[in-house]
Amino acid sequence: MTFKKEFWALLSIFLLPIGLGTLFFYLNPTYFSQNTVNYGELITPVIVTEKSDLDIKGDASLQGVWTLAYVTDSCDSLCNQAVADVKTIRTLINMDMRRIQRMLITNDGSVPSVEDEKLILASITSDKLLGQLSRLPENSIFLIDPIGNFMLYYDPKDINIKFVLKDLKRLLKYSRIG
């Protein structure tokens, strides 16, 4: 083999994968964004909340801890089941249980039929937040990050607790906050 042939062979070995990867990326741009490993639905763009958006009863806060929140107009039988599911999820997360809090957000101030002292009760005070949440399915279970952003939601009618646990374990494993 001559020097020129060796040079072009070595150059193609290094540049061909870069060229093919770049070509694949630009010809199929949605490939990497469509394939996610989460089971809940990501909220894009994330719904950012401020302290004045929610009227939280007691001394609880959204800051510094992950929150599983069930948002509904009034608490009925579906609400009672969703609150029980959220409690089960928090219990099954085991060692990371202290990193997650549970919240019920209702518009009319109703409470579940079963008394639960660890459940944080809240109501929405901001029309902006109410409008943003109205774009999403009603009666959803939301995951709120430690900064206070609504980032993921689950439909409580067909919720699979195992999938929610997988999402939470993955989030808590890689999260440096909360």
Interaxial angle between packed helices 77-92 and 161-174, expressed in degrees from 0 to 180 and rounded to the nearest 10: 50
Tally the residues of the chain: 178
Q: What angle do CA 98, 164, 82 make, to 5 degrees?
A: 85
pTM over 0.75: yes
Q: Which residue has the tokens 């206070």?
A: 148
Q: What is the pLDDT of residues 25-43, one digit of tens each?
A: 888 877 776 667 788 888 9
Percent of the chain with pLDDT over 70: 97
Q: What is the pLDDT of residues 34-80, one digit of tens each?
A: 667 788 888 989 999 998 999 999 899 999 999 999 999 999 889 99
Report the chain's C-alpha Rg in angstroms: 23
CA distances from 165 to 63, 74, 132 (A): 22, 26, 26
CA dist., res. 123 & res. 75, Å (int): 12
pLDDT of residue 163: 92
